[in-house]
Structure 1
């Protein structure tokens, strides 16, 4: 097995602001593994959840030091991957896990969703994201999304440094122009416990369908989610607090859903396991992204039949995406029928 690793830049058409800052462009890593005449591709890149920070340079150094072991070991079957990749950090593991899955599917000539026995009729529309901004800019962003796709599900970023009054002003401005679209809210950990207790019933009264990560992620943060239970009849979804199966199990009694992002889970192996366990526990799933290309989102899209709330819109906001996919009919995303991840360079 041979490997190559290189950097590439992704530039947003519209910069995105959340409670922790603004992103206009990122530098990611493309991993290519060659085996049996096929090339498997994986993607990773630096990101900051407030609690944990990874830089692309750090991940590049980690992978460059580890990948010769994979080259020496040669092809491994999927059952061996978790132990093989265990020494890597979650985002470094993601790149290798995706490339191996891509190779596996190509060697078998099938897309991953079919190898997993999933039914594409279960796919749901993706949400589109409105970042923190003055009211007029948020309305302008929604209008721009609607020029691109139906935007039947809208995710509004809250947790403004300008306080709860600005958050409420954004919601009040959006409600009259939603036109029947579903409104989701993501605070990105930007509220205090007191602020969350104030906002949850207020949002529920206005028809918001879920609130994602109301409190900042921290050790033992399940206590914060527990303290919000009963505050309002609105689902709470853990994002920055939930990285792996262990996190899902500790949060399960206190949330109604979790957001799976492949850079957090370390790729598809852990994400698929988490999705299966979540289903047994009665938890709903969101499937999210950072500033990711169609390669990472195309990989995540393999899980779409298992997901209630897809949130895979980052590649739809790129000016320079080097990959094509996943397939879209309006705002309904579906994984490709191509072998492996089904994602190809443009």
Structure 2
């Protein structure tokens, strides 16, 4: 059993600005696991959600220190992966979890979605993201997206440091250009409670269908979400506040959805468990990304049959993606038909 860890750079064609800052380039890690003539691959990288921050060099050090503990024997049964990887941080765990899943699927000869017993009859279009900026920059970005795909679902980043008036100006300027597209907004925790209480009904009046992470993530923030519950007929989706099963359970009474990102959940093992639990909690799922390549988004795409709001567009904004993108028809992303994660 052999492991190989290497770095690779990812550069955005258009830098993305959110309430916490701008990202133009990141460095990620590729983890390759080989055994029995078969190689599985996983990806991870640093990210910052405001309340939790992970650094790529620190993740590399964590993985290099932990991987030798696996020894050279055959990988453990899949049922043991969750407990085996528990000591790792979520993004480090993600790299190992994806490599093991990719290897397992390739050994079995099927893509993960088929091994999980999922079908492809309920796939939904992915949203495309418009970052914070001027009105002119926002509309230019929308036009550039439309040169690539239909953009039937648009996610607008709000929570501007310039204040609520700038957020409102962006929404008002965008509305005439939607051409029937669904509009979502993501404040990335950039509003306080009073601003959120004002903005939710205001956004409903303008046809917005969901608001993602309106409030800052913090310990006990379920009470903040409770203060918004039932205020307006709009779906509230928790992202930075929801990392794992425990977060999903505490937030479920007050939100209509949660955003699963594999770097937060620690890979596919817990993400699949959370997706199954969401069905019992009557929660819809968003499936999101950070500055991720086609490998990480291709792994996430295996969950698409369970997702109401796909948001896997980061790989479409890269100028140096080292992997082949997951298949898509227009803005309808699909899990690969190839074995494992399915990303060549």
TM range (shorter): over 0.9
Structure 2: runs of 5 or more not aligned: none
Q: Which residue in 1 is equivalent to 2:262?
A: 262
SS of aligned partner of 1:148: coil
Deviation at 1:235, TM superposition (A): 0.6
Q: Which residue in 2 is equivalent to 1:169?
A: 169
Q: Which residue in 1 is equivalent to 2:137?
A: 137
SS of aligned partner of 1:290: coil
Q: Which residue in 2 is equivalent to 1:285?
A: 285
Map 1:324-343 to 2 at 5 A.
Answer: 324-343=324-343
TM-score scaled to structure 1, two decimals? 0.99
Q: Name which of structure 1's ranges 257-266 and 65-74 shifts more when overlaid on structure 2.
A: 65-74
Map 1:31-46 to 2 at 5 A.
Answer: 31-46=31-46
RMSD: 0.6
1:147 equivalent in alignment to 2:147: yes
Kindly indicate whether the alpha-carbon contact (under 8 Å) linking 2:2 and 2:72 is maintained by their aligned counterparts in 1. no
| Alpha-carbon distance in structure 2 between the residues aligned to 1:114 and 1:324 | 20
| Alpha-carbon distance in structure 2 between the residues aligned to 1:247 and 1:117 | 26
TM-score scaled to structure 2, two decimals? 0.99
Deviation at 1:73, TM superposition (A): 4.8
Kindly indicate whether the alpha-carbon contact (under 8 Å) linking 1:3 and 1:71 is maintained by their aligned counterparts in 2. no
Query: Which digits, 9 at most, give the CA deviation of each residue in 1:172-210, with x for residues without a partner?
Result: 000000000000000000000000001000000101000
Q: Which residue in 2 is equivalent to 1:213?
A: 213
| Alpha-carbon distance in structure 1 between the residues aligned to 2:29 and 2:57 | 9
| Alpha-carbon distance in structure 2 between the residues aligned to 1:307 and 1:325 | 19
Map 1:1-346 to 2 at 5 A.
Answer: 1-344=1-344
Kindly indicate whether the alpha-carbon contact (under 8 Å) linking 2:262 and 2:300 is maintained by their aligned counterparts in 1. yes
Query: Which digits, 9 at most, give the CA deviation of each residue in 1:46-80, with x for residues without a partner?
Result: 00000000000110000000011123453111101
SS of aligned partner of 1:275: helix
| Alpha-carbon distance in structure 2 between the residues aligned to 1:77 and 1:214 | 40
| Alpha-carbon distance in structure 1 between the residues aligned to 2:194 and 2:231 | 11
| Alpha-carbon distance in structure 1 between the residues aligned to 2:165 and 2:291 | 28
Query: Which digits, 9 at most, give the CA deviation of each residue in 1:87-111, with x for residues without a partner?
Result: 0000000000000000000000000
Kindly indicate whether the alpha-carbon contact (under 8 Å) linking 1:13 and 1:319 is maintained by their aligned counterparts in 2. yes
Deviation at 1:325, TM superposition (A): 2.3
| Alpha-carbon distance in structure 2 between the residues aligned to 1:307 and 1:156 | 20
Kindly indicate whether the alpha-carbon contact (under 8 Å) linking 2:154 and 2:181 is maintained by their aligned counterparts in 1. yes
Kindly indicate whether the alpha-carbon contact (under 8 Å) linking 1:257 and 1:286 is maintained by their aligned counterparts in 2. yes
SS of aligned partner of 1:122: coil
The alpha-carbon distance between structure 1 residues 149 and 165, as it changes in their structure 2 partners (threshold 3 A), is same
